[in-house]
Structure 1
Amino acid sequence: MDADGDMQLGGPSWDVKVGRRDSTTASFRGANNNIPPPTSGLANLTSLFAAQGLSQKDMVALSGAHTIGQARCTNFRAHVYNDTNIDGTFARTRQSGCPRTSGSGDNNLAPLDLQTPTVFENNYYKNLVCKEGLLHSDQELFNGGATDAQVQSYISSQSTFFSDFVTGMIKMGDITPLTGSNGQIRKNCRRIN
């Protein structure tokens, strides 16, 4: 997802800094080490984001990216079968495409936002208040904790969500930049020179 992609889906736009040095190699494992697991609770999510220099406010705003996209059954199976902080009808709908047995339907996909999965807006937060977060980690953002008020504020004001999302994306883009002769300034951000 980039600034152009968000805008094409109805979301906000922002200027992406140019001249940043990028690595000439990629590490799938290294990247995944910094992505919170979908089973994370609020304290763990907050801690993992803080380790990257992002606040809890940034975390809630950036989680709004889940207004688009899909998740594999393996990532939400435990939530739709075992958790109690989920709407029963929503859970049954998700269970119909995600069998309880591990190894069966593991790669089946479900939209992170059942209502508007291809539009970038604030319905993700509305889903959380209705206990329709697909991932356990999503529903943790509205579960009687410290982030409930922020979720409510994004429901009340999509423009506040967009503004905070842009701030979070810019901050995320500044995490551990390469300096000196490390990496390269790319001519095309999608591939090495």
Structure 2
Amino acid sequence: MASLRLILALVAVAVASLSASGRGGNTGLSPGFYDLSCPQANGIIMSVLEKAIANDSRAAASLLRLHFHDCFVQGCDASVLLDGGASEKNSGPNKNSLRGFQVIDEMKAKLEHVCPHTVSCADILALAARDSVILSGGPHWEVALGRRDSRTANLTKANSDIPAPNSTVQALVAKFKRQGLHEQDLVALSGGHTIGVARCATFKQRLYNKADVTLERSYYNGLKTVCPKVGGDSNVSPLDFSSPRRFDNTYFKLLLEGRGLLTSDEVLLTGNVRKTVDLVKSYAENEALFFHHFAKSMVKMGRISPLLGAHGEIRNNCRKINS
């Protein structure tokens, strides 16, 4: 009887291991995944990132956004990094907008030199996003590792699944729920807009034709000087003009003042969803609460449909699949 119980236990372990080895199973992820195979991994990523941010103040926000746009399209699998005709880089939300690819290239090259064919591009994205937040003054969280890289991109899903900057709050809630994320995750992750900038093309509709009455007047007039009615679509404005390089809760304070840049920011407060309104007010009052919820939501987002085990691959070059 004891031997039968042992056999059944071993079978259960094997089944659990198999279920965690493909998309949807994420119990195979572990913060210590590279402790033996590449203990230098996070140090290498951090050193490249420190230099990148010193050279380009927008780098931190760009790398945080890369991880977000990767995970929302067929899971956290580095599909956003693939080049080619069907690349997700060519989608509406990403084209002429996503940045930071060269920084990821440098991280990958250094990791391949020290630990060949070991650290996935998907894990590099997850670590770079976390470290970008830390270097900007934000919270720390443990990044579970062990993702593998997709061999395919999905241009169609990139066009349909990434939330648009002019979204209603109902559309935002629906797209987040599709990923297993809820209202708290939506508002907390939107707080990532405390760093970075947005192009005029993403918010110009709020300034002209039917001007957005939710915008505070002096802020509205200032935006019009940056974004003319004709042309200037690539001009940029900070998402948080008060402290655009520091990860803090000022983004939420500005929303309460009518100084949120994107429609998708403003509707968290004015879109008639009680949960999002209450969270905006709570985060504006309590930065520690925002940091706690943001870190929790980043962990949750980083576990969206990873490729594990025998699924996917570890790319030698993040821009193309292995031959």
Which ranges of structure 1 fall in alignment gaps of 5 or more residues?
Answer: none
Are 2:201 and 2:233, in contact at CA under 8 Å, matched by a contact in 1?
yes
Between stretches 4-13 and 183-192, larger displacement belongs to 183-192
How far, CA to CA, are the matches of 1:116 and 1:190 in structure 2? 33
Give the distance between the partners of 2:219 and 2:314, measured in 1 at CA: 46
User: Does the Cα contact within 8 Å between 2:150 and 2:307 map onto a contact in 1?
Assistant: yes
2:146 equivalent among 19, 23, 26: 19
- CA drift of 1:180 comes to 4.9
Whether the aligned pair in 1 keeps the contact of 2:168 and 2:271 (CA below 8 Å) is no
Match of 2:303 in 1: 174
2:65 matched to 1:65? no
Q: C-alpha offsets along residues 91-139 of structure 1, whole Å, 9 cap, x if unaligned?
A: 11011010123xx001011110010000000000001000000001100
Distance between the aligned counterparts of 1:22 and 1:30, measured in 2? 17
SS in 1 for 2:292: helix
2:290 corresponds to: 161
Partner of 1:121: 248
Offset of residue 25 of structure 1 = 4.5
> Separation in 2 of the partners of 1:56 and 1:41?
13
Deviations 1:73-100 (A, max 9, x none): 0101012332111101101101101012
Question: What corresponds to 2:266 in structure 1?
Answer: 139
Counterparts in 2 of 1:68 and 1:191: CA distance versus 1, 3 Å: farther
The one-letter amino acid paired with 1:51 is: R
Distance 2:225 2:156 in 1: 31
Count, aligned residues: 191
**Deviates most, 106-115 or 72-81:** 72-81
Which protein, 1 or 2, shows the higher relative CO under an 8 Å CA cutoff with sep ≥ 6? 1
SS in 1 for 2:237: strand
Residue in structure 2 matched with residue 99 of structure 1 by the alignment: 228
Say yes or no: does 1:54 pair with 2:166: no
1:77 aligns with 2:204: yes
Q: Which moved more, 1:122-131 or 1:28-37?
A: 28-37
Question: Partner letter of residue 240 of structure 2?
Answer: D
Please give the alpha-carbon distance, in whole angstroms, between the structure 1 residues aligned to 2:293 and 2:173.
16
127-136 or 77-86, which deviates more:
77-86
What is the TM-score normalised by the length of structure 2?
Answer: 0.55
Q: Give the deviation of 1:34 after TM superposition.
A: 2.1
Counterpart CA distance in 2 for 1:172 and 1:68 is 19
Q: Quick one: which amino acid aligns to residue 114 of structure 1? A: F
Give deviations 1:170-193, integer Å, cap 9, x for gaps. 111111122453212568989977
Q: Tell me, what secondary structure is at the counterpart of 2:192?
A: helix
Deviations 1:133-172 (A, max 9, x none): 0001100011162211111110111111011111111111
Checking the alignment, whether the CA contact within 8 Å between 2:190 and 2:265 is kept in structure 1 is yes
- Partners of 1:19 and 1:185 within 8 A in 2: no
Q: Mean Cα displacement is larger for which, 146-155 or 53-62?
A: 146-155
Per-residue deviation at 1:27? Answer: 4.7
Structure 2 unpaired stretches of 5+: 1-63, 65-128
CA distance in 2, matches of 1:188, 1:154: 39
Instruction: Give the structure 1 partner of residue 171 of structure 2.
Output: 44
Deviation at 1:18, TM superposition (A): 1.4
Partner of 1:4: 131
Quick check: 24-33 or 108-117, which moved more?
24-33
Contact 1:79 1:134 in 2 (8 A): no
